[in-house]
């Protein structure tokens, strides 16, 4: 079974530019999450989709970040315009809750974003 | 105070040693608990969920203490390949987001 995939693996952009990150969850997983790890800090939650609906976007830093999940399959996270503090690794995770296993989330390899 | 706290380490242990990590959480409403393993510049990989009754998977044992609000991970007979950062994660709701600690770094030496 294919895992969570993310594209691109790395992105280097200049301040003020736009970047779009993509996440393909594990097939059949309704829950999709975006997280971010800034250097030296813990992994922090950004937002959560259930199918195509935003369930919780309380972790989104500001309105420069826009996430979509049209059709309830893959998701995109756009940063426009990017700022220096947006640099970090953006992880996507997906899950399909199971009564016994709980909500085990499986992570993609991440996109390393560097804003210069 | 952080919602999930871990000793950052590093824990430097010889091969074959037993090592234990603790993780404390502050929100008593937390429902689900997990240990993840993260290798350098890689994604977190789910190591094990932590159940109220405790659970074991080979050399790894996880325990939950709700009264004291901590979870633990015990690794027996450490291998060189166990060297990684171990992340504790807590989930407040049944489907909600994970709250992570900063991780504990383990280095197993020959």
Q: pLDDT truncated to tens, each residue of chain A (116 aa)?
A: 689 999 999 999 999 999 999 999 999 999 999 999 999 899 999 999 999 999 999 999 999 999 999 888 999 999 999 999 999 999 999 998 776 667 899 999 999 999 99
Rounded to a whole number of angstroms, the distance from the CA of A50 to the nearest CA of chain B is: 9
pLDDT of residue B61: 97
For chain B, the helix, strand and coil percentages under 3-state DSSP, each to the nearest 5:
5, 55, 45
Distance, in Å, from the CA atom of A74 to the CA atom of A88, rounded to the nearest integer, reads 21
Closest-CA residue to B47 (of B104, B5, B97) = B104
How confident is the model at residue B1, as a pLDDT?
78
Burial of A110 (0-12, 13-18, 19+ CB in 10 A): buried
Predicted local distance difference test score (pLDDT) of residue B31: 87
Contacts of A1 (CB under 8 A, 6+ apart): A26, A27
Q: Measure the CA–CA gap between B68 and B100, rounded to whole angstroms.
A: 18
Give B44 or B52, the one with higher predicted confidence: B44
For residue B45, the distance in angstroms to the closest alpha carbon of chain A comes to: 7
Are the beta carbons of B95 and A101 separated by less than 8 Å?
no
Q: Which residues contact B1 (CB under 8 A, 6 or more apart)?
A: B26
Q: For A55, name the nearest residue in chain B, comparing CA atoms only.
A: B96
Question: Among A42, A45, A103, whose Cβ lies nearest the Cβ of B102?
Answer: A42
- Contact of B2 with chain A, judged by CB distance below 8 Å, is answered with yes
In the block, tokens 């060297």 appear at B83
Q: How far does CA B29 lie from the centroid of its chain?
A: 19
Residue B63 φ then ψ, to 5°: -130, 150
Question: Which of A43, A48, A93 comes nearest B96 by C-beta?
Answer: A48
Q: Mark yes or no for CB contact B43/A108 under 8 Å.
A: yes
CA–CA min distance A93, chain B (Å)? 10
pLDDT at B19: 97
The predicted pLDDT at position A101 comes to: 61
For residue A82, give how far its alpha carbon lies from the nearest alpha carbon of chain B (Å). Answer: 22
pLDDT(B95) > 90: no
Structure tokens at B25: 């959480």
Specify the pairing of strand B11-14 against strand B104-109: parallel
The pLDDT confidence band at residue B99, using thresholds 50, 70 and 90, is: very high
Asked if B103 has any chain A CB less than 8 Å from its own CB, the reply is yes
Q: What is the pLDDT of chain B when averaged over all its residues?
A: 93
**Chain A residues touching B91 at Cβ < 8 A:** 102-103
Can you give the pLDDT at residue A100? 63
**The pLDDT of residue B33 is above 80:** yes
Decide if B34 touches A, using CB distance below 8 A: yes
Tell if the CB–CB gap between B43 and A95 is shorter than 8 Å.
no
Parallel/antiparallel/unpaired status of strands A111-115 and A10-13? parallel
Percentage of residues in chain B with pLDDT exceeding 70? 99
Chain A residues at the B interface, defined by Cβ less than 8 Å, are: 31, 33, 35, 41-45, 48, 50, 55-56, 59, 91, 93, 95, 97, 101-110
Give the whole-angstrom CA distance, residue B76 versus residue A92: 31
Do residues A71 and B7 lie in contact, with contact meaning Cβ atoms separated by under 8 Å? no
First to last CA, chain B: 37
The pLDDT-based confidence of B83 (bands split at 50, 70, 90) is: very high
The structure tokens 């959560």 sit at: A48
Question: Regarding predicted confidence, which is higher, B7 or A11?
Answer: A11
Report, as an integer, the average pLDDT of B46-65.
92
């Amino acid at each position: 079974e294919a895992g969570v995939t993310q594209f691109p693996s790395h992105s280097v952009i200049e301040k003020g530019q736009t970047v779009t990150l993509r996440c393909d969850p594990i097939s059949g997983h309704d829950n999709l999450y975006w997280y971010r790890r800034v250097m030296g800090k813990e992994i922090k939650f950004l937002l959560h989709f259930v199918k195509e609906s935003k369930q919780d976007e309380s972790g989104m830093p500001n309105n420069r970040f826009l996430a979509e999940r049209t059709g309830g399959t893959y998701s995109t996270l756009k940063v426009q315009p990017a700022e220096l503090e947006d640099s970090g690794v953006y992880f996507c995770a997906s899950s399909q809750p199971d009564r016994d296993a709980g909500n085990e989330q499986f992570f993609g390899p991440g996109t390393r974003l560097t804003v210069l | 105070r952080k919602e999930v706290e871990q000793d950052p380490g590093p824990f430097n242990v010889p091969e074959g040693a037993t090592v234990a990590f603790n993780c404390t959480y502050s929100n008593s409403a937390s429902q689900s608990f997990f240990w993840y393993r993260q290798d350098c510049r890689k994604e977190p990989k789910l190591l094990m969920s932590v159940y109220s009754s405790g659970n074991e998977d080979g050399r790894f044992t996880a325990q939950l203490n709700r009264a004291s609000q901590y979870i633990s991970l015990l690794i027996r007979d450490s291998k060189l390949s166990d060297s990684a950062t171990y992340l504790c994660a807590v989930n407040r709701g049944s489907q909600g987001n994970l709250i992570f600690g900063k991780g504990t770094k383990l280095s197993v030496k020959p």
